[in-house]
Amino acid sequence: MLRLLSQIWTVIVMNVRSLPQRLWMSLAATFAVTVVVAVLLSFLAMSNGFSKTLSGTGSEDVAIVTRSGSQSELNSVIGRDSVNILSTASGIAKTADGQPFYSAELYVVVDGKKRSSGTEVNIPMRGISSLGFDLRGGIEIVEGRMFADGTNEIIVGRGILDQFSGFELGSEVAFGKTRWTVVGVFSTGGSAFESELWADARMVQDLFNRGNSFQTMRIKLSEAGNIRGLEEMIENDPRLILDVDTEAGYFAAQGEALEGIVWFGWGIGIVMGLGALAGALNTMYTSVASRASEIATLRAIGFSNVSAFFGTLVESVVLSLIGGVIGALVSYIFMDGLTTATIGASFTQVVFTFELSADLLQNGILLALVIGLVGGFFPALKAARLPVIVAFRGSA
């Protein structure tokens, strides 16, 4: 066994040392794998970042109520009467003064200008009550102050401030029938709420002609995840044509829409991977052809065909892995931590950060490994089956 390993090692060393003779072709194969891995990881990092933003947005101890059948907050409508009825359901936490702990909220779309491209896109503006602020955990005002009730003041999420122009502290923006003053910047630890503008719900109702209707109702649950009391009331009261879910479940479902991006990324990765595979096969077949005399000479000396096989296979894997590592590095350097905004389920912009996890990097390297193994396997088989007589044909 040791002798066999020694043979394999010798062949590997010879193959690797002879790489400069096939420099450009080897570099081309490596580059192809680099591009494949970098593109795949970029897609996965985007999807991963978006999913994490949405999944980090929802809480298990908050229920979200929307009109039955509405796909998002934007196309939901809930009247004040429905809000009042549902607020009497069991399972709702109480505030310090014994009132049901909920926030009826509005969700409207306003224009924002992207810093990166200067284009105008939809961004969400949420009308909330002070209870709405309280029932969301992990929120802090990082600059300025909270808006005052009954005024046309807004506070902006940190993601909005980073990605869109015109929302600096103290600036004025025109939405609806009036101008609004930015009085604070809030952070929610990177969740989708950071992509929103918040103002007093009654002001938003008034200035956007919403009468006494809302779009969602957020309810603090007395027991995390337990929405049974709300469901029962909705089922039993024909006036309540509503859907209820935990906030975590709601945003997770929204995030699932991004599954498509993951599959698209893998699809693109696999198609490009096939191209890289063809490159690897070509490179390795050329490598075997150019070393045919050397391989046959070693076989004539007594080296086994197993050593010829593994020597070729390892060369292919090494080239692919180098490409994979460079691709992962490129992706990590240029994509990890990159913050951008894209359209979410409510046709509004969601600010999120590309996130390249260890798992994703591992996937990229794994893909490179597969390309190396498959791309090297058939040429390695050819090397192992090379007739020893080739050594006697020689080359001058």
Part of the chain binding another protein (CB under 8 A), chosen from 48-56, 141-149, 245-253, 301-309: 301-309
Residue in 88, 302, 358, 359 binding another protein, rule: CB under 8 A:
302
Strands 153-157 and 178-187: parallel
Nearest distance from C-beta of residue 389 to another protein, angstroms: 6
Write the Ramachandran bin of 161: left for phi over 0, alpha for psi from -120 to 50, otherwise beta: alpha
- Nearer to another protein by C-beta: 224 or 389? 389
Asked if 389 is part of the footprint of another protein (rule: CB under 8 A), the reply reads: yes
Does 290 contact another protein by CB under 8 A?
no
Stretch binding another protein (CB under 8 A), from 73-81, 134-142, 187-195, 293-301: 293-301
236 binds another protein (CB under 8 A): no
Q: Does 381 bind another protein (CB under 8 A)?
A: no
Residue 22, amino acid: R
Contact call for residue 293 and another protein (CB under 8 A)? yes
Q: How many whole angstroms separate alpha carbon 314 and alpha carbon 262?
A: 31
Distance CA 123, CA 158 (A): 13
| Phi, psi angles (nearest 5°) of residue 263 | -65, -35
Asked if 3 touches another protein (CB under 8 A), the answer is yes
**Which is closer to another protein, CB of 129 or CB of 293?**
293
The bridge status of strand 140-144 relative to strand 339-343 is: unpaired
Q: Does 294 bind another protein (CB under 8 A)?
A: yes
Euclidean distance between CA atoms 179 and 175, whole angstroms: 6
| Contact stretch for another protein (CB under 8 A) within 1-9, 28-36, 38-46, 122-130 | 1-9
DSSP string of 148-206, one letter each residue: PTTSSEEEEEHHHHHHEES--TT-EEEETTEEEEEEEEEE-SSSGGGG-EEEEHHHHHH
x/- mask, another protein, residues 241-280, rule CB under 8 A, reads ----------------------------------------
Our finding on whether 6 is near another protein (CB under 8 A) is yes
The b-or-e profile of 327-366 (16+ CB within 10 A means b, else e) is: bbebbbeebbeeebbeebbbebbbbbbbbbeeebbebbbe
Determine which residue in the list 122, 222, 226, 305 makes contact with another protein, applying CB under 8 A.
305
Count of other CB atoms within 10 angstroms of residue 124: 25
Per rule CB under 8 A, is residue 155 in the interface with another protein? no
Residues of the shown chain interacting with another protein in the complex, contacts defined by CB under 8 A:
3, 6-7, 10, 14, 17-18, 293-294, 297-305, 387-389, 391-392, 394-396
